[in-house]
Amino acid sequence: MSWAGFKKSVNRAGTTLLQKTGQIERTVDREFADEEAKYRIFEKECQALQKDSKAYWDAMKAMTAAQSRIAETLETFYGAADRSSEGAMAGHAYKRSVDDLDATFTRELDLPFRTTISEPLGKMNAYFPVVNEHITKRDKKLLDYDSARSRLRKLIDKPSEDPTKLPRAQQENDESKEMFDLLNDQLIAELPQLLDLRVPYFDPSFEAMIRMQAKFAEEGYEKLSGVQRYFADNVRDDYAAGQLDAQVEGILQEMRELSICGGN
Protein backbone atom coordinates (compact mmCIF):
# COMPACT_ATOMS: atom_id res chain seq x y z
CA MET A 1 0.00 0.00 0.00
CA SER A 2 1.28 3.36 -0.91
CA TRP A 3 1.80 6.05 1.66
CA ALA A 4 -1.21 7.98 0.35
CA GLY A 5 -3.31 4.84 0.50
CA PHE A 6 -2.17 4.18 4.01
CA LYS A 7 -3.03 7.71 5.10
CA LYS A 8 -6.45 7.37 3.55
CA SER A 9 -7.21 4.13 5.29
CA VAL A 10 -6.10 5.51 8.65
CA ASN A 11 -8.31 8.54 8.21
CA ARG A 12 -11.24 6.38 7.20
CA ALA A 13 -10.80 4.12 10.18
CA GLY A 14 -11.01 7.22 12.35
CA THR A 15 -14.16 8.34 10.62
CA THR A 16 -15.79 4.95 11.08
CA LEU A 17 -14.97 5.08 14.75
CA LEU A 18 -16.40 8.56 15.16
CA GLN A 19 -19.52 7.48 13.31
CA LYS A 20 -19.96 4.52 15.59
CA THR A 21 -19.77 6.80 18.59
CA GLY A 22 -22.19 9.14 16.92
CA GLN A 23 -19.85 12.08 16.52
CA ILE A 24 -20.00 12.17 12.77
CA GLU A 25 -23.28 11.86 11.01
CA ARG A 26 -23.51 9.00 8.59
CA THR A 27 -25.20 9.38 5.25
CA VAL A 28 -27.95 6.87 4.89
CA ASP A 29 -28.88 6.08 1.34
CA ARG A 30 -31.87 3.79 1.24
CA GLU A 31 -31.97 3.67 -2.48
CA PHE A 32 -28.45 2.43 -2.78
CA ALA A 33 -28.91 -0.02 0.06
CA ASP A 34 -31.91 -1.54 -1.72
CA GLU A 35 -30.07 -1.90 -4.97
CA GLU A 36 -27.08 -3.36 -3.27
CA ALA A 37 -29.18 -5.91 -1.40
CA LYS A 38 -30.75 -7.09 -4.64
CA TYR A 39 -27.40 -7.20 -6.31
CA ARG A 40 -26.02 -9.33 -3.49
CA ILE A 41 -28.77 -11.87 -3.93
CA PHE A 42 -28.06 -12.01 -7.62
CA GLU A 43 -24.35 -12.39 -7.02
CA LYS A 44 -24.87 -15.23 -4.57
CA GLU A 45 -27.26 -17.09 -6.83
CA CYS A 46 -24.99 -16.78 -9.83
CA GLN A 47 -22.11 -18.21 -7.92
CA ALA A 48 -24.22 -21.11 -6.67
CA LEU A 49 -25.46 -21.68 -10.19
CA GLN A 50 -21.96 -21.83 -11.53
CA LYS A 51 -20.97 -24.33 -8.90
CA ASP A 52 -23.95 -26.55 -9.61
CA SER A 53 -23.54 -26.41 -13.34
CA LYS A 54 -19.96 -27.52 -13.01
CA ALA A 55 -20.95 -30.29 -10.63
CA TYR A 56 -23.63 -31.39 -13.06
CA TRP A 57 -21.26 -31.62 -15.96
CA ASP A 58 -18.63 -33.40 -13.90
CA ALA A 59 -21.19 -35.86 -12.59
CA MET A 60 -22.45 -36.59 -16.07
CA LYS A 61 -18.94 -37.43 -17.18
CA ALA A 62 -18.15 -39.35 -14.01
CA MET A 63 -21.29 -41.41 -14.46
CA THR A 64 -20.47 -42.56 -17.97
CA ALA A 65 -16.82 -43.05 -17.09
CA ALA A 66 -17.78 -45.29 -14.16
CA GLN A 67 -20.04 -47.30 -16.43
CA SER A 68 -17.26 -47.72 -18.90
CA ARG A 69 -14.91 -48.97 -16.21
CA ILE A 70 -17.53 -51.33 -14.86
CA ALA A 71 -17.96 -52.79 -18.32
CA GLU A 72 -14.25 -53.37 -18.51
CA THR A 73 -14.30 -55.21 -15.20
CA LEU A 74 -17.16 -57.37 -16.37
CA GLU A 75 -15.04 -58.51 -19.27
CA THR A 76 -12.41 -59.66 -16.82
CA PHE A 77 -15.00 -61.66 -14.94
CA TYR A 78 -16.31 -63.30 -18.05
CA GLY A 79 -12.78 -63.94 -19.20
CA ALA A 80 -12.21 -66.13 -16.14
CA ALA A 81 -14.14 -69.04 -17.52
CA ASP A 82 -16.12 -68.72 -20.67
CA ARG A 83 -15.64 -65.96 -23.18
CA SER A 84 -18.34 -67.04 -25.54
CA SER A 85 -21.25 -67.46 -23.19
CA GLU A 86 -24.41 -65.45 -23.64
CA GLY A 87 -23.48 -63.43 -20.62
CA ALA A 88 -20.12 -62.59 -22.07
CA MET A 89 -21.77 -61.48 -25.31
CA ALA A 90 -24.14 -59.25 -23.42
CA GLY A 91 -21.27 -57.91 -21.37
CA HIS A 92 -19.45 -57.09 -24.54
CA ALA A 93 -22.46 -55.32 -26.01
CA TYR A 94 -22.81 -53.39 -22.80
CA LYS A 95 -19.22 -52.33 -22.99
CA ARG A 96 -19.63 -51.12 -26.53
CA SER A 97 -22.65 -49.02 -25.71
CA VAL A 98 -21.29 -47.42 -22.54
CA ASP A 99 -18.00 -46.73 -24.25
CA ASP A 100 -19.96 -45.05 -26.97
CA LEU A 101 -21.88 -43.05 -24.41
CA ASP A 102 -18.76 -42.13 -22.53
CA ALA A 103 -16.64 -41.11 -25.46
CA THR A 104 -18.91 -39.91 -28.22
CA PHE A 105 -21.61 -38.33 -26.18
CA THR A 106 -19.54 -36.36 -23.73
CA ARG A 107 -17.33 -35.22 -26.52
CA GLU A 108 -20.31 -34.09 -28.52
CA LEU A 109 -21.72 -32.07 -25.65
CA ASP A 110 -18.45 -30.72 -24.37
CA LEU A 111 -18.35 -27.60 -26.48
CA PRO A 112 -22.10 -26.88 -26.39
CA PHE A 113 -22.13 -27.14 -22.63
CA ARG A 114 -19.24 -24.78 -22.34
CA THR A 115 -20.74 -22.30 -24.77
CA THR A 116 -24.27 -22.26 -23.44
CA ILE A 117 -23.76 -22.73 -19.72
CA SER A 118 -20.24 -22.42 -18.43
CA GLU A 119 -19.17 -19.38 -20.39
CA PRO A 120 -22.14 -17.12 -19.72
CA LEU A 121 -21.97 -17.99 -16.05
CA GLY A 122 -18.25 -17.57 -15.88
CA LYS A 123 -18.44 -14.22 -17.61
CA MET A 124 -21.14 -12.94 -15.31
CA ASN A 125 -19.30 -14.15 -12.25
CA ALA A 126 -16.18 -12.45 -13.47
CA TYR A 127 -18.01 -9.11 -13.44
CA PHE A 128 -18.85 -9.30 -9.77
CA PRO A 129 -15.41 -8.58 -8.36
CA VAL A 130 -15.23 -5.42 -10.45
CA VAL A 131 -18.68 -4.32 -9.39
CA ASN A 132 -17.72 -5.04 -5.81
CA GLU A 133 -14.69 -2.87 -6.28
CA HIS A 134 -16.99 -0.06 -7.34
CA ILE A 135 -19.12 -0.60 -4.27
CA THR A 136 -16.11 -0.62 -1.97
CA LYS A 137 -14.80 2.55 -3.58
CA ARG A 138 -18.17 4.15 -3.18
CA ASP A 139 -18.28 3.23 0.50
CA LYS A 140 -14.85 4.70 1.03
CA LYS A 141 -15.72 7.90 -0.77
CA LEU A 142 -18.84 8.10 1.34
CA LEU A 143 -16.74 8.00 4.47
CA ASP A 144 -14.53 10.74 3.06
CA TYR A 145 -17.57 12.81 2.26
CA ASP A 146 -19.10 12.29 5.69
CA SER A 147 -15.92 13.33 7.35
CA ALA A 148 -15.39 16.39 5.13
CA ARG A 149 -18.95 17.49 5.68
CA SER A 150 -18.71 17.18 9.42
CA ARG A 151 -15.52 19.23 9.42
CA LEU A 152 -17.24 21.89 7.36
CA ARG A 153 -20.20 21.98 9.73
CA LYS A 154 -17.96 22.35 12.71
CA LEU A 155 -16.20 25.27 11.07
CA ILE A 156 -19.48 26.92 10.27
CA ASP A 157 -20.72 26.44 13.81
CA LYS A 158 -17.47 27.57 15.33
CA PRO A 159 -15.67 29.82 12.87
CA SER A 160 -11.94 29.60 13.02
CA GLU A 161 -9.61 32.53 13.31
CA ASP A 162 -7.84 31.45 10.18
CA PRO A 163 -9.96 32.85 7.35
CA THR A 164 -8.60 30.39 4.82
CA LYS A 165 -9.94 27.41 6.71
CA LEU A 166 -13.56 27.75 5.82
CA PRO A 167 -13.15 27.96 2.04
CA ARG A 168 -10.75 25.11 2.15
CA ALA A 169 -13.14 22.94 4.08
CA GLN A 170 -15.89 23.97 1.71
CA GLN A 171 -13.81 22.93 -1.23
CA GLU A 172 -12.89 19.62 0.35
CA ASN A 173 -16.51 18.97 1.07
CA ASP A 174 -17.51 19.74 -2.50
CA GLU A 175 -14.81 17.61 -3.98
CA SER A 176 -15.52 14.60 -1.84
CA LYS A 177 -19.20 14.97 -2.58
CA GLU A 178 -18.55 15.07 -6.28
CA MET A 179 -16.48 11.92 -6.13
CA PHE A 180 -19.03 10.14 -4.05
CA ASP A 181 -21.92 11.26 -6.23
CA LEU A 182 -20.14 10.12 -9.31
CA LEU A 183 -19.71 6.60 -8.02
CA ASN A 184 -22.99 6.46 -6.23
CA ASP A 185 -25.07 7.70 -9.13
CA GLN A 186 -23.44 5.29 -11.48
CA LEU A 187 -24.13 2.39 -9.18
CA ILE A 188 -27.71 3.39 -8.55
CA ALA A 189 -28.31 3.80 -12.23
CA GLU A 190 -26.51 0.71 -13.42
CA LEU A 191 -27.06 -1.92 -10.77
CA PRO A 192 -30.76 -2.18 -11.66
CA GLN A 193 -29.81 -2.38 -15.32
CA LEU A 194 -27.39 -5.19 -14.67
CA LEU A 195 -30.03 -7.00 -12.67
CA ASP A 196 -32.62 -6.46 -15.31
CA LEU A 197 -30.35 -7.66 -18.08
CA ARG A 198 -29.85 -10.97 -16.33
CA VAL A 199 -33.13 -12.16 -17.82
CA PRO A 200 -32.27 -11.80 -21.50
CA TYR A 201 -28.69 -12.72 -20.71
CA PHE A 202 -29.41 -16.09 -19.16
CA ASP A 203 -32.64 -16.85 -20.94
CA PRO A 204 -31.25 -18.95 -23.80
CA SER A 205 -29.10 -20.96 -21.41
CA PHE A 206 -32.17 -22.43 -19.80
CA GLU A 207 -33.49 -24.01 -22.94
CA ALA A 208 -30.04 -25.25 -23.86
CA MET A 209 -29.69 -26.88 -20.46
CA ILE A 210 -33.03 -28.59 -20.76
CA ARG A 211 -32.21 -29.87 -24.19
CA MET A 212 -28.86 -31.18 -23.08
CA GLN A 213 -30.33 -32.90 -20.05
CA ALA A 214 -32.99 -34.50 -22.19
CA LYS A 215 -30.39 -35.51 -24.73
CA PHE A 216 -28.29 -37.12 -22.07
CA ALA A 217 -31.27 -39.10 -20.80
CA GLU A 218 -32.38 -40.12 -24.25
CA GLU A 219 -28.98 -41.16 -25.56
CA GLY A 220 -28.25 -43.02 -22.37
CA TYR A 221 -31.55 -44.82 -22.45
CA GLU A 222 -31.40 -45.68 -26.10
CA LYS A 223 -27.82 -46.84 -26.15
CA LEU A 224 -28.29 -48.99 -23.08
CA SER A 225 -31.61 -50.52 -23.96
CA GLY A 226 -30.10 -52.00 -27.12
CA VAL A 227 -28.04 -54.29 -24.92
CA GLN A 228 -31.21 -56.12 -23.85
CA ARG A 229 -31.24 -57.99 -27.14
CA TYR A 230 -28.35 -60.05 -25.84
CA PHE A 231 -30.15 -61.10 -22.72
CA ALA A 232 -32.11 -64.31 -22.36
CA ASP A 233 -35.84 -63.73 -22.72
CA ASN A 234 -36.65 -64.32 -19.12
CA VAL A 235 -34.07 -61.94 -17.69
CA ARG A 236 -36.24 -58.87 -17.68
CA ASP A 237 -39.04 -60.60 -15.80
CA ASP A 238 -36.62 -62.29 -13.48
CA TYR A 239 -35.18 -58.93 -12.62
CA ALA A 240 -38.59 -57.47 -11.97
CA ALA A 241 -39.49 -60.42 -9.78
CA GLY A 242 -36.30 -60.26 -7.78
CA GLN A 243 -35.23 -63.66 -9.11
CA LEU A 244 -31.82 -62.39 -10.08
CA ASP A 245 -31.06 -61.41 -6.52
CA ALA A 246 -31.95 -64.90 -5.38
CA GLN A 247 -29.61 -66.36 -7.97
CA VAL A 248 -26.80 -64.15 -6.78
CA GLU A 249 -27.40 -65.19 -3.21
CA GLY A 250 -27.55 -68.87 -4.12
CA ILE A 251 -24.26 -68.77 -5.94
CA LEU A 252 -22.57 -66.94 -3.13
CA GLN A 253 -23.76 -69.69 -0.83
CA GLU A 254 -22.34 -72.35 -3.12
CA MET A 255 -19.03 -70.57 -3.12
CA ARG A 256 -18.91 -70.48 0.64
CA GLU A 257 -19.45 -74.21 0.72
CA LEU A 258 -16.36 -74.91 -1.35
CA SER A 259 -13.68 -76.64 0.68
CA ILE A 260 -11.19 -73.92 -0.16
CA CYS A 261 -13.41 -71.35 1.51
CA GLY A 262 -13.23 -71.89 5.21
CA GLY A 263 -13.49 -75.61 4.66
CA ASN A 264 -9.86 -76.42 5.32
Residues 226 to 255 in contact with another protein, rule: CB under 8 A: 227, 231, 235-236, 238-239, 243-245, 247-249, 251-252, 254-255
Shortest Å, Cβ 72 to another protein: 8
Residues 36 to 95 in contact with another protein, rule: CB under 8 A: 37-38, 41-42, 45-46, 48-49, 51-53, 55-56, 58-60, 62-63, 65-67, 69-70, 73-74, 76-82, 85, 87, 90-91, 94
Helices vs strands, H then E, count in the chain = 8, 0
Of the two residues 22 and 262, which places its CB atom closer to another protein in the complex?
Answer: 262
Residue 133 interacts with another protein (CB under 8 A): yes or no? yes
Residues 200 to 229 in contact with another protein, rule: CB under 8 A: 200-221, 224-225, 227
218: Cβ contacts below 8 Å, ≥ 6 apart? none
Amino acid at site 42: F
Of the two residues 28 and 80, which places its CB atom closer to another protein in the complex?
Answer: 80
Q: Sign of dihedral through CA atoms 109, 111, 116, 118?
A: positive
Residue length, the chain?
264
How far is residue 14's CA from residue 11's CA, in Å, rounded to a whole number? 5
How far is residue 96's CA from residue 88's CA, in Å, rounded to a whole number? 12
How far is residue 63's CA from residue 98's CA, in Å, rounded to a whole number? 10
Residues 170 to 189 in contact with another protein, rule: CB under 8 A: 175, 178-179, 181-183, 185-189
Shortest Å, Cβ 230 to another protein: 10
Dmax over CA atoms of the chain, in Å, equals 110
Residue 33 interacts with another protein (CB under 8 A): yes or no? no
Of the two residues 25 and 45, which places its CB atom closer to another protein in the complex?
Answer: 45
Residue 28 interacts with another protein (CB under 8 A): yes or no? no
Of the two residues 91 and 147, which places its CB atom closer to another protein in the complex?
Answer: 91
Residue 164 interacts with another protein (CB under 8 A): yes or no? no
144: Cβ contacts below 8 Å, ≥ 6 apart? 8, 11, 12, 15, 176, 179, 180
